[in-house]
Amino acid sequence: MEFFKGIGRIRYEGADSGNPLAFGFYDPERAVLGKKMKEHLPFAMAWWHNLCACGTDMFGRDTADKSFGAKPGTMEHATAKADAGFEFMSKTGIEYFCFHDVDLVPEADCIAETERRLDVMTDYILALMKDTGIKCLWGTANLFGNPRYMNGAGTSNSADVYAFAAAQIKKALDVTVRLGGRGYVFWGGREGYETLLNTDMRRELDNMAYLMRMAVDYGRSIGFEGDFYIEPKPREPMAHQYDFDAATAIGFLREYGLDKDFKLNIEANHATLAGHTFEHELRVAAVNGMLGSVDANQGTAHLGWDTDCFPCDVPTATRAMYEILRGGGLTGGFNFDAKTRRASNTPEDMFKGYILGMDTFALGLIKAAAIIEDGRLDAFVRGRYASFGSGIGKKITDRKTSLTELADYARSLGSPGRPSSGNEEGLEEIFNKILYS
Protein backbone atom coordinates (compact mmCIF):
# COMPACT_ATOMS: atom_id res chain seq x y z
CA MET A 1 0.00 0.00 0.00
CA GLU A 2 1.23 3.48 -0.86
CA PHE A 3 0.83 5.98 1.99
CA PHE A 4 2.17 9.13 0.37
CA LYS A 5 0.15 9.15 -2.82
CA GLY A 6 1.01 11.78 -5.35
CA ILE A 7 4.50 12.25 -3.93
CA GLY A 8 7.20 10.56 -5.97
CA ARG A 9 10.90 10.16 -5.48
CA ILE A 10 12.43 13.48 -4.33
CA ARG A 11 15.19 14.42 -6.74
CA TYR A 12 17.86 17.05 -7.05
CA GLU A 13 16.63 19.77 -9.40
CA GLY A 14 18.79 22.70 -8.31
CA ALA A 15 17.89 25.93 -6.53
CA ASP A 16 16.15 27.42 -9.55
CA SER A 17 13.57 24.65 -9.81
CA GLY A 18 10.11 25.81 -8.86
CA ASN A 19 9.20 22.34 -7.61
CA PRO A 20 8.71 22.48 -3.81
CA LEU A 21 9.20 18.71 -3.58
CA ALA A 22 12.71 18.64 -5.02
CA PHE A 23 16.17 19.19 -3.58
CA GLY A 24 17.77 22.51 -4.38
CA PHE A 25 21.24 21.66 -3.03
CA TYR A 26 21.35 18.04 -1.91
CA ASP A 27 22.76 16.21 -4.89
CA PRO A 28 23.71 12.80 -3.44
CA GLU A 29 26.21 11.82 -6.14
CA ARG A 30 28.02 15.19 -6.28
CA ALA A 31 31.65 14.96 -5.20
CA VAL A 32 32.78 17.24 -2.40
CA LEU A 33 36.40 17.03 -1.22
CA GLY A 34 36.76 13.75 -3.08
CA LYS A 35 33.74 12.02 -1.56
CA LYS A 36 30.10 11.75 -2.55
CA MET A 37 27.76 14.10 -0.79
CA LYS A 38 25.68 11.19 0.46
CA GLU A 39 28.79 9.66 2.02
CA HIS A 40 29.58 12.89 3.84
CA LEU A 41 25.98 13.14 4.98
CA PRO A 42 24.53 9.84 6.20
CA PHE A 43 21.07 11.22 6.94
CA ALA A 44 18.68 9.42 9.24
CA MET A 45 14.96 9.58 9.90
CA ALA A 46 13.91 9.85 13.55
CA TRP A 47 11.12 7.31 13.95
CA TRP A 48 9.55 9.20 16.87
CA HIS A 49 9.09 12.62 15.31
CA ASN A 50 8.32 11.54 11.79
CA LEU A 51 6.07 8.55 12.37
CA CYS A 52 4.75 8.99 15.93
CA ALA A 53 4.47 12.71 16.81
CA CYS A 54 1.17 14.28 15.81
CA GLY A 55 1.64 17.90 16.87
CA THR A 56 0.46 17.65 20.47
CA ASP A 57 1.88 20.33 22.74
CA MET A 58 1.31 21.41 26.36
CA PHE A 59 -1.77 23.36 25.33
CA GLY A 60 -3.44 21.34 22.62
CA ARG A 61 -3.95 17.92 21.17
CA ASP A 62 -3.02 16.33 17.85
CA THR A 63 -3.13 18.34 14.66
CA ALA A 64 -1.65 15.71 12.33
CA ASP A 65 -3.01 12.30 11.45
CA LYS A 66 -0.37 9.61 11.60
CA SER A 67 -2.65 6.63 11.84
CA PHE A 68 -1.54 5.43 8.40
CA GLY A 69 -4.83 3.63 8.03
CA ALA A 70 -4.61 1.66 11.29
CA LYS A 71 -5.80 2.08 14.86
CA PRO A 72 -3.13 3.75 17.04
CA GLY A 73 -1.91 1.56 19.88
CA THR A 74 -2.16 -1.68 17.91
CA MET A 75 0.45 -3.86 16.25
CA GLU A 76 -1.28 -3.17 12.92
CA HIS A 77 -0.48 0.50 13.49
CA ALA A 78 3.12 -0.39 14.35
CA THR A 79 3.56 -2.22 11.06
CA ALA A 80 1.75 0.54 9.13
CA LYS A 81 4.17 3.07 10.60
CA ALA A 82 7.09 0.93 9.51
CA ASP A 83 5.69 0.63 5.99
CA ALA A 84 5.04 4.38 5.82
CA GLY A 85 8.51 5.09 7.22
CA PHE A 86 10.26 2.93 4.65
CA GLU A 87 8.22 4.47 1.86
CA PHE A 88 9.15 7.92 3.19
CA MET A 89 12.86 7.07 3.39
CA SER A 90 12.87 5.48 -0.05
CA LYS A 91 11.20 8.54 -1.55
CA THR A 92 13.55 11.03 0.13
CA GLY A 93 16.67 8.93 -0.38
CA ILE A 94 17.34 8.72 3.36
CA GLU A 95 19.46 5.67 4.03
CA TYR A 96 19.24 5.35 7.83
CA PHE A 97 16.77 5.48 10.68
CA CYS A 98 16.96 5.90 14.47
CA PHE A 99 14.45 4.57 16.99
CA HIS A 100 13.45 4.20 20.62
CA ASP A 101 12.10 0.80 21.63
CA VAL A 102 8.61 2.15 22.24
CA ASP A 103 8.52 4.06 18.94
CA LEU A 104 8.42 0.67 17.23
CA VAL A 105 5.67 -1.01 19.21
CA PRO A 106 2.99 0.01 21.68
CA GLU A 107 4.26 -0.67 25.19
CA ALA A 108 2.32 -3.45 26.95
CA ASP A 109 1.52 -3.64 30.65
CA CYS A 110 4.15 -6.30 31.17
CA ILE A 111 7.68 -6.18 29.90
CA ALA A 112 7.65 -9.73 28.53
CA GLU A 113 4.81 -8.84 26.16
CA THR A 114 6.55 -5.62 25.04
CA GLU A 115 9.63 -7.71 24.30
CA ARG A 116 7.59 -10.20 22.30
CA ARG A 117 6.15 -7.37 20.24
CA LEU A 118 9.63 -5.98 19.68
CA ASP A 119 10.76 -9.35 18.35
CA VAL A 120 7.87 -9.39 15.88
CA MET A 121 8.62 -5.84 14.73
CA THR A 122 12.34 -6.48 14.44
CA ASP A 123 11.63 -9.31 12.00
CA TYR A 124 9.23 -7.08 10.11
CA ILE A 125 11.70 -4.21 9.86
CA LEU A 126 14.53 -6.54 8.86
CA ALA A 127 12.50 -7.60 5.83
CA LEU A 128 11.90 -3.96 4.86
CA MET A 129 15.60 -3.22 5.27
CA LYS A 130 16.45 -6.13 3.02
CA ASP A 131 14.05 -4.92 0.33
CA THR A 132 15.21 -1.32 0.36
CA GLY A 133 18.85 -1.36 1.48
CA ILE A 134 17.97 1.12 4.24
CA LYS A 135 20.02 0.71 7.42
CA CYS A 136 19.80 1.47 11.14
CA LEU A 137 21.94 4.33 12.44
CA TRP A 138 21.22 3.90 16.12
CA GLY A 139 18.77 2.57 18.62
CA THR A 140 17.90 3.58 22.15
CA ALA A 141 15.53 2.80 24.98
CA ASN A 142 12.92 5.32 26.02
CA LEU A 143 13.72 5.68 29.72
CA PHE A 144 11.74 8.86 30.29
CA GLY A 145 8.15 8.51 29.07
CA ASN A 146 6.72 5.83 31.34
CA PRO A 147 5.63 7.15 34.79
CA ARG A 148 7.98 4.65 36.46
CA TYR A 149 10.85 6.87 35.32
CA MET A 150 9.55 10.01 37.01
CA ASN A 151 12.60 10.02 39.30
CA GLY A 152 15.02 8.89 36.62
CA ALA A 153 16.04 5.51 35.26
CA GLY A 154 19.74 4.90 35.95
CA THR A 155 19.49 7.62 38.60
CA SER A 156 16.19 6.55 40.11
CA ASN A 157 15.83 6.22 43.89
CA SER A 158 14.10 2.88 43.25
CA ALA A 159 16.20 -0.23 42.66
CA ASP A 160 13.22 -1.90 40.99
CA VAL A 161 12.90 0.92 38.49
CA TYR A 162 16.65 0.68 37.88
CA ALA A 163 16.15 -3.01 37.04
CA PHE A 164 13.37 -2.12 34.59
CA ALA A 165 15.67 0.37 32.91
CA ALA A 166 18.29 -2.37 32.63
CA ALA A 167 15.72 -4.71 31.08
CA GLN A 168 14.72 -2.11 28.50
CA ILE A 169 18.33 -1.32 27.62
CA LYS A 170 19.14 -5.00 27.25
CA LYS A 171 16.26 -5.51 24.85
CA ALA A 172 16.93 -2.28 22.93
CA LEU A 173 20.52 -3.46 22.49
CA ASP A 174 19.31 -6.83 21.22
CA VAL A 175 17.09 -5.07 18.67
CA THR A 176 19.82 -2.61 17.65
CA VAL A 177 22.28 -5.45 17.11
CA ARG A 178 19.78 -7.49 15.11
CA LEU A 179 19.10 -4.45 12.93
CA GLY A 180 22.83 -3.89 12.46
CA GLY A 181 22.77 -0.43 14.11
CA ARG A 182 25.96 1.63 13.98
CA GLY A 183 25.42 3.05 17.43
CA TYR A 184 23.47 2.94 20.66
CA VAL A 185 22.39 6.17 22.40
CA PHE A 186 21.92 7.19 26.00
CA TRP A 187 19.95 10.38 26.28
CA GLY A 188 19.45 11.04 29.99
CA GLY A 189 16.26 13.06 29.92
CA ARG A 190 15.29 12.10 33.45
CA GLU A 191 18.84 11.51 34.64
CA GLY A 192 19.14 14.57 36.82
CA TYR A 193 17.22 16.15 39.64
CA GLU A 194 14.59 18.69 40.51
CA THR A 195 15.83 19.57 44.00
CA LEU A 196 19.01 18.75 45.89
CA LEU A 197 16.93 18.45 49.06
CA ASN A 198 15.88 14.93 48.02
CA THR A 199 18.93 13.91 45.99
CA ASP A 200 21.97 11.75 46.68
CA MET A 201 24.02 12.98 43.72
CA ARG A 202 27.05 10.74 44.29
CA ARG A 203 24.93 7.61 44.36
CA GLU A 204 22.97 8.67 41.27
CA LEU A 205 26.11 9.33 39.21
CA ASP A 206 27.72 6.06 40.31
CA ASN A 207 24.55 4.11 39.52
CA MET A 208 24.15 5.72 36.09
CA ALA A 209 27.75 4.89 35.21
CA TYR A 210 27.31 1.30 36.39
CA LEU A 211 24.24 0.91 34.16
CA MET A 212 26.29 2.13 31.19
CA ARG A 213 29.14 -0.21 32.13
CA MET A 214 26.74 -3.15 32.21
CA ALA A 215 25.29 -2.05 28.86
CA VAL A 216 28.76 -1.98 27.30
CA ASP A 217 29.62 -5.41 28.71
CA TYR A 218 26.35 -6.89 27.51
CA GLY A 219 26.51 -5.17 24.12
CA ARG A 220 30.02 -6.44 23.47
CA SER A 221 29.01 -9.93 24.60
CA ILE A 222 26.31 -10.11 21.90
CA GLY A 223 28.61 -8.82 19.18
CA PHE A 224 27.86 -5.08 19.13
CA GLU A 225 30.92 -3.42 17.63
CA GLY A 226 29.56 0.09 17.18
CA ASP A 227 29.83 3.11 19.42
CA PHE A 228 27.80 3.90 22.47
CA TYR A 229 26.84 7.56 22.61
CA ILE A 230 25.87 9.99 25.32
CA GLU A 231 23.61 12.74 24.02
CA PRO A 232 24.22 15.74 26.29
CA LYS A 233 21.42 18.10 27.25
CA PRO A 234 21.48 20.55 30.15
CA ARG A 235 17.82 20.45 31.20
CA GLU A 236 14.29 19.60 30.04
CA PRO A 237 12.54 17.64 31.25
CA MET A 238 14.55 17.72 34.51
CA ALA A 239 15.62 21.04 36.04
CA HIS A 240 19.24 19.84 36.09
CA GLN A 241 20.54 17.02 33.94
CA TYR A 242 23.84 15.28 34.61
CA ASP A 243 24.92 15.13 30.95
CA PHE A 244 24.86 18.93 30.81
CA ASP A 245 27.07 19.44 27.77
CA ALA A 246 29.88 17.78 25.83
CA ALA A 247 32.62 18.74 28.29
CA THR A 248 30.61 17.48 31.28
CA ALA A 249 29.75 14.20 29.56
CA ILE A 250 33.37 13.63 28.56
CA GLY A 251 34.52 14.20 32.14
CA PHE A 252 31.92 11.71 33.35
CA LEU A 253 32.92 9.08 30.78
CA ARG A 254 36.59 9.42 31.72
CA GLU A 255 35.91 9.33 35.42
CA TYR A 256 34.18 5.99 35.06
CA GLY A 257 36.48 4.48 32.43
CA LEU A 258 33.75 4.47 29.77
CA ASP A 259 35.59 6.69 27.29
CA LYS A 260 36.88 3.84 25.11
CA ASP A 261 33.39 2.60 24.30
CA PHE A 262 31.51 5.89 24.18
CA LYS A 263 31.44 8.93 21.95
CA LEU A 264 28.97 11.80 21.88
CA ASN A 265 25.79 12.41 19.94
CA ILE A 266 25.65 16.20 19.65
CA GLU A 267 22.24 17.79 19.19
CA ALA A 268 22.21 21.36 17.92
CA ASN A 269 19.25 22.46 20.01
CA HIS A 270 20.78 20.96 23.18
CA ALA A 271 23.98 22.90 22.55
CA THR A 272 22.14 26.21 22.51
CA LEU A 273 20.14 25.26 25.61
CA ALA A 274 23.48 24.74 27.38
CA GLY A 275 24.51 28.28 26.47
CA HIS A 276 26.88 27.12 23.74
CA THR A 277 26.80 27.04 19.98
CA PHE A 278 26.38 23.85 17.97
CA GLU A 279 29.90 24.27 16.60
CA HIS A 280 31.33 24.70 20.09
CA GLU A 281 29.95 21.34 21.18
CA LEU A 282 31.27 19.70 18.02
CA ARG A 283 34.73 21.17 18.58
CA VAL A 284 34.82 20.00 22.20
CA ALA A 285 33.81 16.51 21.08
CA ALA A 286 36.32 16.49 18.23
CA VAL A 287 39.37 17.64 20.19
CA ASN A 288 38.62 14.93 22.73
CA GLY A 289 38.26 12.18 20.14
CA MET A 290 34.55 11.89 20.89
CA LEU A 291 32.92 13.08 17.67
CA GLY A 292 30.28 10.43 17.18
CA SER A 293 26.94 11.40 15.73
CA VAL A 294 24.70 14.42 15.32
CA ASP A 295 21.06 15.11 16.08
CA ALA A 296 20.41 17.64 13.34
CA ASN A 297 17.83 20.21 14.32
CA GLN A 298 17.74 23.79 15.49
CA GLY A 299 16.20 25.72 18.34
CA THR A 300 14.24 28.92 18.37
CA ALA A 301 16.71 31.47 19.72
CA HIS A 302 14.40 33.36 22.07
CA LEU A 303 12.67 30.27 23.50
CA GLY A 304 14.25 28.34 26.33
CA TRP A 305 13.28 24.85 25.27
CA ASP A 306 13.99 22.11 22.78
CA THR A 307 11.82 23.21 19.87
CA ASP A 308 13.38 20.60 17.53
CA CYS A 309 12.89 22.63 14.37
CA PHE A 310 14.19 21.35 11.06
CA PRO A 311 17.51 23.05 10.40
CA CYS A 312 17.33 25.99 8.00
CA ASP A 313 20.18 28.16 9.24
CA VAL A 314 22.90 27.81 6.60
CA PRO A 315 25.65 29.76 8.43
CA THR A 316 25.25 27.47 11.44
CA ALA A 317 25.20 24.36 9.25
CA THR A 318 28.35 25.63 7.56
CA ARG A 319 30.15 26.17 10.86
CA ALA A 320 28.99 22.73 12.00
CA MET A 321 30.14 21.03 8.80
CA TYR A 322 33.46 22.87 9.06
CA GLU A 323 33.97 21.36 12.53
CA ILE A 324 32.90 17.91 11.37
CA LEU A 325 35.14 17.92 8.27
CA ARG A 326 38.08 19.26 10.25
CA GLY A 327 37.39 16.74 12.99
CA GLY A 328 37.66 13.83 10.55
CA GLY A 329 33.93 13.17 10.07
CA LEU A 330 31.37 11.34 12.15
CA THR A 331 31.37 7.68 13.07
CA GLY A 332 27.58 7.99 13.12
CA GLY A 333 25.41 10.24 10.98
CA PHE A 334 22.91 13.07 10.84
CA ASN A 335 19.68 12.13 12.55
CA PHE A 336 16.90 14.64 12.04
CA ASP A 337 15.71 14.85 15.62
CA ALA A 338 13.27 17.44 14.31
CA LYS A 339 9.56 17.81 13.89
CA THR A 340 7.39 19.84 11.61
CA ARG A 341 5.59 22.67 13.39
CA ARG A 342 2.21 21.98 14.91
CA ALA A 343 0.50 23.79 12.05
CA SER A 344 2.53 22.02 9.37
CA ASN A 345 0.29 19.03 9.61
CA THR A 346 0.06 17.51 6.12
CA PRO A 347 1.99 14.56 4.68
CA GLU A 348 3.61 17.01 2.25
CA ASP A 349 4.93 18.97 5.22
CA MET A 350 6.75 15.85 6.42
CA PHE A 351 8.63 15.80 3.12
CA LYS A 352 9.26 19.53 3.14
CA GLY A 353 10.82 19.26 6.60
CA TYR A 354 13.35 16.69 5.42
CA ILE A 355 14.00 18.50 2.14
CA LEU A 356 14.76 21.67 4.11
CA GLY A 357 17.04 19.89 6.55
CA MET A 358 18.91 17.92 3.90
CA ASP A 359 19.37 20.97 1.68
CA THR A 360 20.59 23.03 4.64
CA PHE A 361 23.28 20.49 5.48
CA ALA A 362 24.17 20.02 1.83
CA LEU A 363 24.77 23.76 1.53
CA GLY A 364 26.68 23.71 4.80
CA LEU A 365 28.88 20.93 3.44
CA ILE A 366 29.52 22.72 0.14
CA LYS A 367 30.39 25.97 1.87
CA ALA A 368 32.52 24.35 4.58
CA ALA A 369 34.47 22.51 1.90
CA ALA A 370 34.97 25.82 0.09
CA ILE A 371 36.33 27.41 3.27
CA ILE A 372 38.76 24.53 3.69
CA GLU A 373 39.86 24.70 0.05
CA ASP A 374 40.23 28.46 0.30
CA GLY A 375 42.66 27.92 3.17
CA ARG A 376 42.72 31.47 4.56
CA LEU A 377 41.10 30.60 7.87
CA ASP A 378 43.48 27.70 8.41
CA ALA A 379 46.48 29.80 7.49
CA PHE A 380 45.40 32.51 9.89
CA VAL A 381 45.05 30.09 12.79
CA ARG A 382 48.44 28.53 12.05
CA GLY A 383 50.05 31.96 11.94
CA ARG A 384 48.32 33.02 15.13
CA TYR A 385 50.19 30.40 17.14
CA ALA A 386 53.47 30.71 15.25
CA SER A 387 55.27 31.87 18.40
CA PHE A 388 55.10 28.28 19.66
CA GLY A 389 57.14 27.06 16.71
CA SER A 390 60.52 28.46 17.64
CA GLY A 391 62.62 29.78 20.52
CA ILE A 392 61.01 29.77 23.91
CA GLY A 393 57.64 28.85 22.32
CA LYS A 394 59.15 25.67 20.88
CA LYS A 395 60.44 24.77 24.33
CA ILE A 396 56.91 25.15 25.69
CA THR A 397 55.49 23.04 22.87
CA ASP A 398 58.07 20.33 23.55
CA ARG A 399 57.40 20.57 27.30
CA LYS A 400 61.10 21.22 27.83
CA THR A 401 61.06 24.27 30.07
CA SER A 402 60.25 25.25 33.64
CA LEU A 403 58.57 28.00 35.51
CA THR A 404 62.00 29.35 36.49
CA GLU A 405 63.31 29.44 32.93
CA LEU A 406 60.12 31.12 31.72
CA ALA A 407 60.31 33.68 34.51
CA ASP A 408 63.95 34.46 33.64
CA TYR A 409 63.01 34.77 29.99
CA ALA A 410 60.10 37.11 30.81
CA ARG A 411 62.36 39.30 32.94
CA SER A 412 64.92 39.50 30.15
CA LEU A 413 62.18 40.66 27.76
CA GLY A 414 60.85 43.32 30.08
CA SER A 415 57.50 43.37 28.27
CA PRO A 416 55.86 40.81 25.95
CA GLY A 417 54.56 43.54 23.69
CA ARG A 418 51.03 43.29 22.41
CA PRO A 419 49.88 39.96 20.94
CA SER A 420 48.78 40.05 17.30
CA SER A 421 45.22 41.00 16.33
CA GLY A 422 42.57 38.30 16.57
CA ASN A 423 41.14 39.60 13.29
CA GLU A 424 37.65 38.39 14.07
CA GLU A 425 35.93 40.88 11.77
CA GLY A 426 38.28 40.07 8.94
CA LEU A 427 37.67 36.35 9.34
CA GLU A 428 33.89 36.77 9.48
CA GLU A 429 34.12 38.78 6.29
CA ILE A 430 35.99 35.93 4.58
CA PHE A 431 33.36 33.52 5.91
CA ASN A 432 30.55 35.68 4.47
CA LYS A 433 32.27 36.13 1.13
CA ILE A 434 32.61 32.39 0.72
CA LEU A 435 29.11 31.75 2.01
CA TYR A 436 27.38 34.22 -0.25
CA SER A 437 29.32 33.94 -3.46
Sole binder of ligand XLS in the list 306, 330, 355, 356 (CB under 6 A):
306
The number of residues in the chain equals 437
Distances (CA, A) of 27 to 42, 132, 341: 13, 20, 26
Q: Largest Cα–Cα distance in the chain? A: 82
Which one of ligand XLS, Ni ion, none is in contact with 140 (Cβ closer than 5 to 8 A by kind)? ligand XLS
Question: Which CB sits closer to ligand XLS, 224 or 336?
Answer: 336
Determine if 359 is a binding residue for Ni ion (CB under 5 A): no
Which one of ligand XLS, Ni ion, none is in contact with 279 (Cβ closer than 5 to 8 A by kind)? none
Q: Please, what is the minimum distance in Å from the beta carbon of residue 236 to Ni ion?
A: 8
Determine if 245 is a binding residue for Ni ion (CB under 5 A): no
Question: Which CB sits closer to Ni ion, 175 or 273?
Answer: 273
Q: Please, what is the minimum distance in Å from the beta carbon of residue 297 to Ni ion?
A: 7
Burial 353-372 (b: 16+ CB within 10 A, else e): bbbbbbbbbbbbbbbbbbbe
Which one of ligand XLS, Ni ion, none is in contact with 227 (Cβ closer than 5 to 8 A by kind)? none
Per-residue mark of binding to Ni ion, 288-327 (x: CB under 5 A): -------x----------x---------------------
Say whether 280 is catalytic: no
Which one of ligand XLS, Ni ion, none is in contact with 191 (Cβ closer than 5 to 8 A by kind)? none
Burial tier of 62 (Cβ tally within 10 Å: 0-12, 13-18, 19+)? middle
User: What is the Cα–Cα distance from 246 to 207, expressed in whole angstroms?
Assistant: 20
Determine if 101 is a binding residue for ligand XLS (CB under 6 A): no
Burial tier of 262 (Cβ tally within 10 Å: 0-12, 13-18, 19+)? buried
CA geometry: angle 68, 74, 80, nearest 5 deg: 30
Question: Which CB sits closer to Ni ion, 87 or 243?
Answer: 243
What's 133's DSSP letter? -
Question: Which CB sits closer to ligand XLS, 100 or 263?
Answer: 100
- Gyration radius of the chain's alpha carbons: 24
Determine if 337 is a binding residue for Ni ion (CB under 5 A): yes
Which region, judged by CB under 5 A, interacts with Ni ion, from 15-23, 248-256, 263-271, 356-364? 263-271
Q: Identify the sign of the CA torsion 382, 383, 388, 389.
A: positive
The three-class DSSP label of residue 321 is: helix
The residues in 127-186 that bind ligand XLS, with binding defined as CB under 6 A, are 140, 185
Q: Please, what is the minimum distance in Å from the beta carbon of residue 245 to Ni ion?
A: 13
Q: Which residues contact 247 (CB under 8 A, 6 or more apart)?
A: 284
Q: Please, what is the minimum distance in Å from the beta carbon of residue 375 to Ni ion?
A: 34
User: What is the Cα–Cα distance from 273 to 275, expressed in whole angstroms?
Assistant: 5
Q: Please, what is the minimum distance in Å from the beta carbon of residue 260 to Ni ion?
A: 23
Say whether 100 is catalytic: yes
Active-site entry in 40, 77, 100, 280: 100
**What one-character-per-residue DSSP string does 208-270 give?**
HHHHHHHHHHHHHHTT--SEEEE---S-SSSSEESS-SHHHHHHHHHHTT-TTTEEEEEEHHH
Q: Which residue is nearest to ligand XLS (CB)?
A: 187
Q: Which residues are catalytic?
A: 100, 103
The footprint of Ni ion (CB under 5 A) covers 267, 295, 306, 337
The footprint of ligand XLS (CB under 6 A) covers 100, 140, 185, 187, 189, 231, 233, 267, 295, 306, 337
